[in-house]
Amino acid sequence: AQKVTQAQTEISVVEKEDVTLDCVYETRDTTYYLFWYKQPPSGELVFLIRRNSFDEQNEISGRYSWNFQKSTSSFNFTITASQVVDSAVYFCALSEDDYKLSFGAGTTVTVRA
């Protein structure tokens, strides 16, 4: 069964628009970690955030913000005032007891100038 679902395959926006990427996860563990990674065309994964299951506080880092809601098993990611450099594939991932990472299918974000 898919543990992490990213329903949006591709999103295309014009520069300066906001973009929200959805992530829904499934786990029976009470302790788990959620991640977001960015994969630009070069292929190297860039770590964006790690959040543990006990910390539901939303987080903002520059133009990036994350909304974690355990009630809906969601960990959504918003890019505010998008820029062309934000164009990449974004992956949401879940880590449970065994610390293995289960990745979602990824969402390709294209920001047009």
Partner 1 sequence: GAVVSQHPSRVICKSGTSVKIECRSLDFQATTMFWYRQFPKKSLMLMATSNEGSKATYEQGVEKDKFLINHASLTLSTLTVTSAHPEDSSFYICSAAGAYNEQFFGPGTRLTVL
The residues of the shown chain that bind partner 1, judged by CB under 8 A, are 37, 42-45, 47, 50, 91, 95, 99-106, 108
In the complex, what is the shortest distance from the CB of residue 2 to partner 1, in angstroms, rounded to a whole number?
Answer: 10
C-alpha 97/C-alpha 82 separation (Å) is 35
Task: Kindly give the pairing relationship between strand 10-14 and strand 107-112.
Answer: parallel
In the complex, what is the shortest distance from the CB of residue 58 to partner 1, in angstroms, rounded to a whole number?
Answer: 21
Angle at 10 between CA 36 and CA 77, to 5 degrees: 30
Question: Can you read off the two tokens belonging to residue 5?
Answer: 């679902």
In the complex, what is the shortest distance from the CB of residue 45 to partner 1, in angstroms, rounded to a whole number?
Answer: 4
Give the residue with the Cβ less far from partner 1, 41 or 113.
Answer: 41
